[in-house]
Structure 1
Amino acid sequence: MDFRQLRTFTCVAELGSLSKASDTLRIAQPALSRQIKLLEHELRTELFTRNGRGMVLTDAGRLLLARTSGIVRQVDQIRDDIQSAQGPPSGRVVLGLVPTVSCVLSARFARRCVENFPDISLRIVESYSGHLIEWLHRGEMDLSIIYGRTADLHLAAQPLGRDQIVAVGPRGCGLSRKKQVEIGWLLRQRLVLPSHSHGLRALIEHAAALKKIKLDVQLEADSFRVLTSLVEEGLGFALLPPSSVRSEVADGRLETAAIAKPLSRELIIASPIDRPASIATTAVTALLREEVAACRKEGLWDIRLT
Structure 2
Amino acid sequence: MDIRRLQAFVKIIDLGSISRAADLLNIAQPALSQQLAALESTFRQKLVIRSKSGVTPTMAGVELYRHAQTISKQLDRAMTEIALGAGPLVGKVSVGLSPYSAGSTLAVDLLQRVRTSLPGVVLHLTESFDEIYSELIMTGRLDMAVIHGAGPIKGVLFTPLMKEDFFLLAPEALDFPQDSAGAVQLADIIEIPLLVPPRHNFVRQRIDMAFLRKQLVPNIVAEIEAVPTLQEAIAQGIGSTILPWSVASRIVVPGRSKIHPLRNPVIQEDVSLCIPETVPETEASVAVREHLVDLARAMATSRNWPGTQAT
The TM-score range, normalised by the shorter chain, is 0.7 to 0.9
Residues 1:43 and 2:36 aligned together? yes
Aligned-pair CA distance for 1:142: 0.8
Deviations 1:136-160 (A, max 9, x none): 2322111001101333575201110
Paired residue for 1:77? 77
Supply the distance in 1 between the matched residues of 2:253 and 2:232 (Cα, whole angstroms).
15
Residues 1:258 and 2:272 aligned together? no
Supply the distance in 1 between the matched residues of 2:32 and 2:259 (Cα, whole angstroms).
55
Paired residue for 2:215? 212
Supply the distance in 2 between the matched residues of 1:84 and 1:275 (Cα, whole angstroms).
22
CA contact (8 A) 1:8 1:35 kept: no
1:225 is paired with a residue whose SS is helix
Supply the distance in 1 between the matched residues of 2:121 and 2:11 (Cα, whole angstroms).
18
> CA 1:296/1:36 → structure 2, altered by over 3 Å: closer, same or farther?
farther
Paired residue for 2:309? 304
CA contact (8 A) 1:220 1:227 kept: no
Alignment: residue pair count: 279
> CA 1:177/1:277 → structure 2, altered by over 3 Å: closer, same or farther?
same
Paired residue for 2:165? 164
Deviations 1:2-31 (A, max 9, x none): 43465588689989xxxxxxxxxxxxxx99
Report matched runs for 1:127-142 at 5 Å: 127-128=128-129, 131-142=132-143
The partner residue of 1:184 within 183, 187, 190 is 187
Supply the distance in 1 between the matched residues of 2:105 and 2:55 (Cα, whole angstroms).
38
* Amino acid corresponding to residue 98 of structure 1 in structure 2: S
> CA 1:175/1:127 → structure 2, altered by over 3 Å: closer, same or farther?
farther
Structure 1 spans left out of the alignment, 5+ residues: 16-29, 45-57
Aligned-pair RMSD on alpha carbons? 3.6
* Amino acid corresponding to residue 39 of structure 1 in structure 2: L
Larger % of helix: which? 1
Aligned-pair CA distance for 1:171: 3.0
TM-score norm. by structure 1 comes to: 0.76
> CA 1:242/1:153 → structure 2, altered by over 3 Å: closer, same or farther?
farther
Aligned-pair CA distance for 1:95: 0.2
> CA 1:175/1:255 → structure 2, altered by over 3 Å: closer, same or farther?
farther
Paired residue for 1:231? 234
Paired residue for 2:42? none
Paired residue for 1:121? 122
Deviations 1:93-130 (A, max 9, x none): 11000123354221221121111111111100102496
Structure 2 spans left out of the alignment, 5+ residues: 16-22, 38-52
TM-score norm. by structure 2 comes to: 0.75
The partner residue of 1:33 within 13, 17, 26 is 26
Supply the distance in 1 between the matched residues of 2:91 and 2:11 (Cα, whole angstroms).
16
Paired residue for 1:269? 273
> CA 1:235/1:88 → structure 2, altered by over 3 Å: closer, same or farther?
same
> CA 1:267/1:214 → structure 2, altered by over 3 Å: closer, same or farther?
same
2:140 is paired with a residue whose SS is coil
* Amino acid corresponding to residue 108 of structure 2 in structure 1: A
Deviations 1:183-222 (A, max 9, x none): 2223443211111112121211111111111222121123
The partner residue of 2:297 within 293, 299, 302 is 293
Aligned-pair CA distance for 1:173: 1.9
Aligned-pair CA distance for 1:283: 0.6
Supply the distance in 2 between the matched residues of 1:177 and 1:36 (Cα, whole angstroms).
67
Supply the distance in 2 between the matched residues of 1:162 and 1:84 (Cα, whole angstroms).
40
Deviations 1:18-73 (A, max 9, x none): xxxxxxxxxxxx996249885355337xxxxxxxxxxxxx8448878954333311
Supply the distance in 2 between the matched residues of 1:72 and 1:156 (Cα, whole angstroms).
21
Supply the distance in 2 between the matched residues of 1:225 and 1:154 (Cα, whole angstroms).
35
Supply the distance in 1 between the matched residues of 2:230 and 2:151 (Cα, whole angstroms).
27
> CA 1:118/1:234 → structure 2, altered by over 3 Å: closer, same or farther?
same
Supply the distance in 1 between the matched residues of 2:86 and 2:219 (Cα, whole angstroms).
59
2:269 is paired with a residue whose SS is strand
Supply the distance in 1 between the matched residues of 2:29 and 2:121 (Cα, whole angstroms).
28
Report matched runs for 1:49-88 at 5 Å: 59-60=54-55, 66-67=65-66, 68-79=68-79, 86-88=86-88
Give 1 or 2 for the bigger CA radius of gyration.
Answer: 2
Supply the distance in 2 between the matched residues of 1:272 and 1:230 (Cα, whole angstroms).
38
